[in-house]
A = this chain, B = another copy of it.
């Protein structure tokens, strides 16, 4: 279904807005929210609307071009890559990093054995303390 490419499918219109939204999302590793991405895109297209950002993110997620991250926090976040991986969020500073999942296949089979579902994929977020916050680790209460 997904070609694993960063190009937009040909059967839909390749609008300037859509291209810029995708480029900006793929240019960062920070998994921005829709409004953060909106701010980024507006530097190149001041007249774009937030609704257009939402519509295109929704559409690209449905097409498998980007990933919608719906774990933790109030707003949804978006990830410009479709490779299966997990996220880890620092409980102190909120920073989010990627975690490669090499054991995915075998994990899928364990899960299938355990619950009888046929597994297609997973979404995973760890909670932890990033290296920077570990260094400053004083008596502060973890959030």
Measured CB to CB, the residues of A under 8 A from B are 70-73, 86, 88, 90-91, 97-100, 103, 108, 110-112, 114-131, 134, 142
CA distance A133 to B70 in the complex (A): 24
| Given A70-B73, A73-B70, A111-B88, A117:B128 Cβ within 8 A | yes
Does the CB pair A131–B117 fall under 8 Å? yes
* Chain multiplicity (copies): 2
Determine which of B98, B111, B121, B128 lies in contact with A119 in the assembled complex, contact meaning CB atoms within 8 Å: B128
Does the CB pair B119–A122 fall under 8 Å? no
Shortest beta-carbon distance from A51 to chain B in Å: 17
Does the CB pair A129–B134 fall under 8 Å? no
Determine which of B100, B125, B131 lies in contact with A123 in the assembled complex, contact meaning CB atoms within 8 Å: B125
